[in-house]
């Protein structure tokens, strides 16, 4: 099987980027990260890339005439390196149509809430303010909407009564670092089929134990 080439788009600290790097370096995922694109010259992700011998490219949106031109340029950088999967790891922009057209059902994003609840910015704060008992995170393919594309994998994470945005975010982040690499592994193994707005994961074993929070009494 040909090794999957991945392109990562990230705007910040890149802890998800790191989790993906680690899963590749330990051999859990058969893939290679060929390029990091960032819109933020101060992103810590750049240092992570350098440390692991990954090429990085700072692409500043203000240098492009329009959003479409920006994402057309990004798509051509990715294509010229043979990238087959684009991963958004804390990329703080809505992806433009040229990139989605170049990579249909091949752009993945992680969102820190159980979609379709709490899309957009600050998913953890939205969930905490709302008072949900279970939140979580979602990996999905990206379409033109805001966090609306077909869902690949989700983790349900209990919320505590005294949670703050920070404590809930921290609990969710640990699971982001598990399910993002998992989704990429499934993709690399050719196990994700998109049917309309659903995905079907080949060979997945269904576990019907529910998560109830707070747990049932005796």
Which residues contribute to the site for ligand GRF (CB under 6 A)? 10, 12-17, 89-90, 110-112, 173, 176
- What is the closest distance, in whole angstroms, from the C-beta atom of residue 120 to ligand GRF in the complex? 10
- By beta-carbon proximity to ligand GRF, the closer residue of 106 and 111 is 111
- What is the closest distance, in whole angstroms, from the C-beta atom of residue 200 to ligand GRF in the complex? 24
- What is the closest distance, in whole angstroms, from the C-beta atom of residue 11 to ligand GRF in the complex? 7
Please tell me which residue in 52, 111, 122, 177 is annotated as part of the active site. 111
- By beta-carbon proximity to ligand GRF, the closer residue of 40 and 69 is 40
- By beta-carbon proximity to ligand GRF, the closer residue of 90 and 149 is 90
Nearest residue to ligand GRF, scored by beta-carbon proximity? 90
Give, in degrees to the nearest 5, the angle at Cα 160 between 164 and 208. Answer: 130
Rounded-to-integer distance, Cα 118 and Cα 168, Å: 14
Dmax of the chain from CA atoms?
A: 63
Task: Answer yes or no: 140 catalytic.
Answer: no
- By beta-carbon proximity to ligand GRF, the closer residue of 72 and 173 is 173
Q: Can you read off the two tokens belonging to residue 66?
A: 């329009």
- What is the closest distance, in whole angstroms, from the C-beta atom of residue 9 to ligand GRF in the complex? 11
Which residues are marked as active site? 111
């Amino acid at each position: 099987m040909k090794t999957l080439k991945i392109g990562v788009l990230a705007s910040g600290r890149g802890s998800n980027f790191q989790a993906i790097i680690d899963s590749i370096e330990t051999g859990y995922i058969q893939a290679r990260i060929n390029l990091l694109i960032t819109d933020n010259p101060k992103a810590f992700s750049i240092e992570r890339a350098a440390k692991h011998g990954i090429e990085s490219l700072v692409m500043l949106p203000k240098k492009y005439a329009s959003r479409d031109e920006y994402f057309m340029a990004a798509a051509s950088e990715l294509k010229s390196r043979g990238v087959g999967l684009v991963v958004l790891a804390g990329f703080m922009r809505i992806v433009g149509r040229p990139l989605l057209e170049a990579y249909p059902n091949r752009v993945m994003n992680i969102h820190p809430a159980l979609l379709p609840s709490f899309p957009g910015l600050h998913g953890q704060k939205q969930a905490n303010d709302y008072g949900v008992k279970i939140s979580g995170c979602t990996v999905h393919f990206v379409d033109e909407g805001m966090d609306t594309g077909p869902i690949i994998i989700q983790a349900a994470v209990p919320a505590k009564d005294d949670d703050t945005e920070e404590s809930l975010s921290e609990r969710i982040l640990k699971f982001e670092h598990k399910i993002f690499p998992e989704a990429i592994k499934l993709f690399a193994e050719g196990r994700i089929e998109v049917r309309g707005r659903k995905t079907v994961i080949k060979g997945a074993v269904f576990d019907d134990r529910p998560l109830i929070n707070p747990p049932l009494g005796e």
